[in-house]
Amino acid sequence: MIPCIITMFAVLKGGGSRCTAAIAYRQPTAGFAARRGRTSFPLRMLAGGGGRQSAAVEQDKSKKPSTSEKLDLAPPRGTRDFYPEDMRLQRWLFSHWQEVARLHGFSEYDSPVLENEALYIRKAGEEVSQQLYNFEDKGGRAVSLRPEMTPSLARMVMAKKRTLSMPLKWYSIPQCWRYERMTRGRRREHYQWNMDIWGVAGPTAEAELLGCIVAFFQRVGLTADDIGVKVNSRQVLSELLNKLGVPDDKFAPTCVLLDKLDKVPLEAVRGDLEALGLSTEVIDSLGDVRDVKTMDQLKDLLGDDSPAHKHLTSLFSIAEAYGFQEWLDFDISVVRGLAYYTGVVFEGFDRSGEFRAICGGGRYDELLTTFGGDPLEAAGFGFGDAVIIELLKAKDMLPEFKTSGTQFVVCALSPDLHPTAVKVATSLRDAGGSADLVLDSKKKLKWVLKHTDRLGARYLVLVGEDEWKIGKVKVKDMAEGTQEDMDVDSLGPWAAAYVTESE
């Protein structure tokens, strides 16, 4: 056996052969390895460097960061940390979104943040496809962080279409990712309030969704003087472009380019329009289309029998019944860049012009067909967190979160009394109160008072030796500046009453 080992080692060491240890060496018997009391030779040889390491191992070593390198404490560009004060603001925003959804009878859902890349490349549009955070996972699958929620929702609906009872009214608040150029109110990750209605063909669905948007604006103190919602229809554009001679197969890419005309002049996209095969006359006419400002002008262009005009007219009529018609503006320039929209499209905007689009959505009846399914009526919107927070901040309309939500602070005045303070804190928590327990009983009272003030807690409960001997604790009212000794047995009912009063 030993000569065989030496021969193999010499061959490997000298490089005279590319054969592996499995070919050049006959594995020792289990008994031999056991008698030697050590790892069998091939494993020891590889572990000890007696052979060549794989490129993957060498690469892993080269990628290993030096312990002397200074860690970049900033999050990746375009992303955010949420410290407790940021989370309080986020929860405030989310609570309004959730309450609007509840009041309008929507059910919450969610999906994985990681999806198959093909889900977005199929129909989202070229711009979204170019902005994907996509990569190949360890199994060789092309995956992507979700840039939006609608395709995931479509996948979920299609997966259980036979068992779902229509109409569906669903909402979600997912985190979405897009690798795009950052501007004010635009980041590479954001949370987005999504509301969608499936199985309703008429404008009643769009009206309900617009009603939800307006309800949220009203909840946070915004009015129709602050915010407007531009409304248009892909069907309107289809009829107009058809009259201008734009071929049906060029409709979707033409709409994507028209969507850019809010930001750039016609000349900036003329080359792209020409690349679609559109004539100079047609391209010039596209600029004229944007001069249509009213529903009456639209009617004159499309005629009395236009289905698109009738649909929009019906929507504005329903909005009047809701009472939010003053929020709506017909605007033929609203296209929405996503290629899956098929009907009404809309965007919430800041009337002062300081901020980009606040929210947007529309009808997408054909989306399931891109996944091999049958058409199904659907409409929805997305509403990001970044722009609305910036807008409310600019208008000085954000609430002040001076407190953490903690109602009571409990502190033992000596380490020996800490177990007793635990029982006191537990009784307050059992009563429904938020109680912070000071874990270091050696802290000075001055620090405890400042700590209570920082948390914004109303009451400080001190567990002292003299008071505890007679079944009492000292309760300090931080708002009134008063204090009293309270029976321990009264703490629970007292705390429960305060919690109820505070709600």
- Domain spans, the chain: 2-59, 84-394, 408-502
Q: What is the pTM of this model?
A: 0.79
Q: How confident is the model at residue 339 (pLDDT cuts 50, 70, 90)?
A: confident
Question: Distance between CA 462 and CA 446 in Å, rounded?
Answer: 13
Distance between CA atoms of residues 28 and 44, nearest Å: 13
Span 13-72, pLDDT tens digits: 444 444 333 333 344 444 434 444 444 434 333 344 444 444 444 445 555 656 678 889
User: Is residue 340 marked as binding?
Assistant: yes
The pLDDT > 90 percentage for the chain reads 61
By the 10 Å C-beta count (0-12 exposed, 13-18 middle, 19+ buried), 295 is classed as middle
Q: Residue 302 CA to chain centroid, in angstroms?
A: 40
End-to-end Cα distance, the chain:
82
What whole-number percentage of the chain has pLDDT above 70?
84
* Residue 25 annotated as lining a ligand binding site: no
Is 29 annotated to bind a ligand? Reply is no
- For residue 122, give Cα distances in angstroms to 118, 151, 366: 6, 9, 12
273-313 pLDDT, tens digit per residue, is 999 998 888 888 887 787 788 999 889 888 888 998 999 99
Find out whether 328 and 228 touch, Cβ atoms under 8 Å: yes
**Under 8 Å between Cβ of 259 and 347:** no
What's residue 218's pLDDT?
A: 98
Separation between Cα atoms, residue 28 and residue 41, nearest integer Å: 8
Task: Point out which residues pair with 475 in neighbouring strands.
Answer: 461, 484
pLDDT at 28: 43
Residue 196 annotated as binding?
A: yes
- CB under 8 Å to 159, separation ≥6 — which residues? none
Question: What is the rounded distance in angstroms from the CA atom of residue 395 to the CA atom of residue 389?
Answer: 10
Answer yes or no: CATH 3.40.50.800 is held by domain 408-502: yes
Confidence bin at 465 (pLDDT 50/70/90): very high
DSSP collapsed to 3 states, 231-298: EEEHHHHHHHHHHHCCCHHHHHHHHHHHHHHHCCCHHHHHHHHHHCCCCHHHHHHHHHHCCCCCHHHH
CA nearest to 449, candidates 433, 464, 438, 439: 438
Q: Contact at 8 Å (CB) between 207 and 316?
A: no
For residue 314, the surrounding DSSP H or E stretch is: helix 307-322
Count the neighbouring beta carbons within 10 Å of the beta carbon of residue 157: 23
At residue 5, the pLDDT reads 41
Cβ count within 10 A of residue 358: 23
Whether residue 297 is annotated as binding a ligand: the answer is no
Residue 404, SS3 per DSSP: coil
Does 430 show up as a binding residue in the annotation?
no
- The arithmetic mean of pLDDT across residues 120-135, rounded, is 76
Residue 142 has pLDDT above 50, yes or no: yes
Q: For residues 214 and 312, is the Cβ–Cβ distance under 8 A?
A: no
Compute the distance between CA of residue 478 and CA of residue 136 in angstroms, rounded to an integer.
57
Residue 229 and residue 399 in contact, taking contact as beta carbons nearer than 8 Å: no
The DSSP letter of residue 183 is B
**Tell me, which fold does domain 84-394 have in CATH?**
BirA Bifunctional Protein; domain 2 (3.30.930)
Residue 341 assigned to a binding site: yes
